[in-house]
């Protein structure tokens, strides 16, 4: 997940000139892989499960509370995926015209410029509480550096396909992002 999001997505959609997805290459890491949902939801449930477990003898409806938290986390995950997609690939104008969406889109755009800030896409309250909120870019707009695409291609399936094509190999399987490529031994 880290490789796809940080080393591919953040490189290909880095500044104002590349923030919107306009090329097929940029789409590879626009959303998380299918297996990210259960992992991220599970990780987010751990502290709540520990809290519920610690209160299990208190007579509180901890099971119902866990279901509620699980549904909220699931809803948040899908809100993140949906809004994140629309931020980078606008396609539903009536949502994109809303003030709240414009605010979180700018919030997220600044996250691409300052990767250590504005982490929360859907509900920036956490950024306020943790002191990671940036509301405006004090610097003039930048242009994405040419080497950003090279960094992304070192870690992406798209880059792997380009390398395979250049070497005359045909790739029949696609490995998940983040798996190191092992060079094939030379043919004799």
Question: 4: closest CA among 158, 139, 140, 131?
Answer: 158
Query: What size, in residues, is the chain?
Result: 188
pLDDT at position 185 is 39
Region of residue 98 (phi > 0: left; psi between -120 and 50: alpha; otherwise: beta): beta
pTM: 0.79
pLDDT at position 181 is 46
Spans of the chain below 50 pLDDT: 178-188
The Cα–Cα gap between 156 and 4 comes to: 7
pLDDT at position 74 is 93
The Cα–Cα gap between 131 and 119 comes to: 11
Instruction: Give pLDDT tens digits for 133-184.
Output: 999 988 888 888 888 888 888 888 888 888 888 888 765 555 555 444 444 4
pLDDT at position 180 is 44
pLDDT at position 6 is 80
């Amino acid at each position: 997940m880290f490789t796809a999001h940080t080393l591919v997505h953040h490189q290909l959609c880095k500044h104002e000139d590349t923030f919107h997805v306009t090329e097929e290459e940029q789409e590879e890491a626009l959303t998380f892989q299918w297996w990210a949902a259960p992992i991220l939801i599970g990780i987010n449930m751990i502290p709540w499960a520990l809290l519920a477990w610690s209160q299990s003898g208190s007579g509180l409806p901890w099971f119902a509370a866990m279901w509620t938290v699980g549904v909220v986390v699931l809803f948040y995950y899908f809100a993140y995926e949906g809004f994140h997609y629309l931020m980078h690939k606008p396609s539903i104008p009536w949502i994109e015209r809303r003030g709240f969406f414009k605010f979180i889109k700018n919030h997220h755009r600044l996250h691409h410029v300052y990767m250590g800030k504005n982490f929360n896409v859907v509900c920036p309250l956490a950024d306020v509480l943790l002191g990671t909120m940036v509301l405006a870019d004090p610097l003039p707009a930048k242009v994405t550096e040419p080497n950003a695409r090279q960094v992304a291609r070192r870690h992406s399936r798209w880059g792997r396909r380009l390398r395979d094509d250049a070497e005359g190999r045909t790739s029949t399987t696609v490995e998940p992002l983040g798996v190191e490529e092992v060079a094939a031994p030379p043919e004799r």
